[in-house]
Chain A
Amino acid sequence: RKEVEQDPGPFNVPEGATVAFNCTYSNSASQSFFWYRQDCRKEPKLLMSVYSSGNEDGRFTAQLNRASQYISLLIRDSKLSDSATYLCAVKYEYKLSFGAGTTVTVRA
C-alpha cells in the first residue's frame, strides 16, 4: 500500500463551482499534513497546512480525519487560476511523503 494516495482526477469543473477531493495516508503516526499546489512543470508550492480542527484560507478549506486517516481539500467559487495539480503531503519525523496529485481543471 502506498504511503499517501490520492484520486488522480481530473476534476473538470465550471468557474464558480465547488470541488473537493481527499487524500488517504497509511502511517497512523503521521504528525503533520499539508496541501501543495503544483503547476505544470513547476515545483510544488505550499497551499496550506492542515490542522486537526480543520482550517480555512479564503476559498480553500482543509480537513483532517485522523480516525479514518484522510485529509481533504475543498475549493469554493473556483477560479480559472485554480487549475493545477494538488498534492497532499504527510510528514512523519523529518520525512515528507507526497501523493501523486489530483488534477483540477476549471473551465470558463
Chain B
Amino acid sequence: GAVVSQHPSRVICKSGTSVKIECRSLDFQATTMFWYRQFPKKSLMLMATSNEGSKATYEQGVEKDKFLINHASLTLSTLTVTSAHPEDSSFYICSASREGTTDYGYTFGSGTRLTVV
C-alpha cells in the first residue's frame, strides 16, 4: 500500500530558528503533495499544495516566505518553517496523492509536532 514517511516526528526549537520537515513517498511516485497544519481540537487546514518541479500553491493567508516548500523529486517534499515563533507551534502533516490511482483519499505522513520556545 501507499506509505508516506514524515520526519522528524517531534521537534522543539528556539524562537527565530528555522525547521525543516521532510515528507517522502516510499513506494510510489507522488506528483502532488499537500501540507496541512492542525491546532488542538481544530480541523486540518491545508497550507499549500506542492507539485514536483514547480512552485507550490499556497492557500489564502499562508505566508509563502515563512513556509518554504520544495518538491524537488517525485518522492520528496520539504516544508521549512523559517524564523519560527511560538505561534507556529502546531502539528504539521503532509499527504501525498498517488498518480493514476482511483480516488481513495490521500495517504498521510505521521505528522510533525513542532514546539517553538
Interface residues of A (CB under 8 A from B): 4, 8, 31-32, 34, 36, 41-46, 49, 87, 89, 91, 94-101
Contacts and interface: CB of A to CB of B under 8 A. Distances in A.
A44 B43 CA distance: 11
Given A42-B110, A49-B104, A91-B105, 7 more contacts: A43-B108, A43-B109, A43-B110, A44-B108, A87-B43, A95-B49, A100-B43
Task: Across the A-B interface, give the 10 residue pairs with the lowest CB-CB distance, nearest first.
Answer: A100-B43, A43-B108, A98-B44, A34-B105, A98-B43, A43-B111, A46-B105, A32-B103, A43-B110, A43-B93
A24 B108 CA distance: 23
A94 B49 contact: yes
B38 to A, nearest CB: 9
A78 B103 CA distance: 28
A97 B44 CA distance: 8
B74 to A, nearest CB: 16
Interface residues of B, number: 23
A27 to B, nearest CB: 14
Interface of B: 6, 32, 34, 41-44, 46, 49, 91, 93, 95, 97, 103-111, 113
A87 B97 CA distance: 19
Given A32-B103, A95-B49, A101 B108 contact: no
Contacts of B107: 46
B43 A4 contact: yes
A95 B105 CA distance: 10
Interface of A is mostly: strand
B46 A95 contact: yes
B43 A41 contact: no
Given A42-B111, A46-B105, A94 B43 contact: no
A49 B102 CA distance: 11
B31 to A, nearest CB: 10
A49 B103 CA distance: 9
